[in-house]
Amino acid sequence: MRDIQEQQEQETTPLLFTNNTELQQQQQQQQQKEKANMIKKDAIFGTMTQIGLALFVGLIISVLVRLPYNVFIYHAVFMVAFVVLSTEGIFLLQPTSTPKEKEKGLKKHATFIGLSYLCAIGGFSAIMYHKAISHKDHFTSYHGKLGLIVFCFLLFQFLFGLTMAFIPNLFGSVAKAKSLWKYHRMTGYTLVIIVWVTAQLGIRADYIYNNLWSPKLMIGHWIALIFIIIGISGRVRLYKWGFSKGNNNTVVSRN
């Protein structure tokens, strides 16, 4: 009789957990493990991004030091700063999770993007002046045409993000403004892609290419670009784009 009772108790005992506390502990441990893995992954991809940007800047500087001083130098310097700052603006906002981190990330994002836009204005003004004093036509190359598109796109993106973050009532309510964030995020990544395409076209312009220390250095630009693409892509949270569901109640937040 006793053996039968023990057998019945074993059959009614949960297979995995004896109580909710044990289940919660297992979930917390799993969440902590996932968070640690995500932090490690972000660190790896983040390092790749920074290496790519540093290599890109170094290669550009190696060309600029060989050029005679003229107004074009200002265009190159300002636009390199613009490319780096706009990329960093997205990079800094990617890993935020808690409300406090998101607030700090937003401020850094706004600062970097604001500075990048000032650099874009400086670079755009410099090349316009350079073309004018050289009596050359404007926007004749793919680099120039895409550059104009980037400048206009950047203004729209900057104002769009600025109003959503600091003047949300323009969209009717704070909730409506927040619902548009994913579109701002999507257009932001689209803009950065166009920015890098434009930069790559500029790097391959005759004036820059002919002043490389060696044509083989173009391989370095490809390496830098690959590092940046992998680094930024690896930190993307598709949950924020509405393509996959995230759990806001877990320790790990996918932004």
Phi and psi torsions of 68, nearest 5°: -65, 150
Best-predicted range by mean pLDDT (76-80, 138-142, 245-249): 76-80
Query: Can you tell me whether residue 140 is helix, strand or coil?
Result: coil
Q: Is 46-241 CATH 1.20.120.1770?
A: yes
pLDDT greater than 50 at residue 222 = yes
Q: Are 242 and 182 in contact (CB under 8 A)?
A: yes
Lowest mean per-residue pLDDT among 14-23, 34-43, 47-56, 94-103:
14-23
Of 9-23, 156-170, 214-228, minimum mean pLDDT range: 9-23
As a whole number of angstroms, the distance between CA 227 and CA 45 comes to 9
Tokens 């600062």 found at: 111
CA 144 to each of CA 114, 138, 205: distance values in angstroms, whole numbers, following the listed order: 22, 7, 11
Task: Summarize the confidence of residues 42-47 as an average pLDDT.
Answer: 95
What are the helix (H) ranges across the chain?
A: 2-12, 20-64, 71-93, 99-133, 142-166, 174-179, 181-203, 206-209, 218-234
User: Is residue 247 predicted with pLDDT exceeding 50?
Assistant: no
Average pLDDT, the chain: 87
199: nearest Cα among 85, 51, 68, 48: 85
pLDDT at residue 13 greater than cutoff 70? no
List the structure tokens of 182.
Answer: 């994913």
| pLDDT above 70 coverage of the chain, percent | 87
What is the mean pLDDT of the segment spanning 105-124? Answer: 94
pTM of the model: 0.83
What's the confidence (pLDDT) of residue 249?
Answer: 40
pLDDT at 46: 96
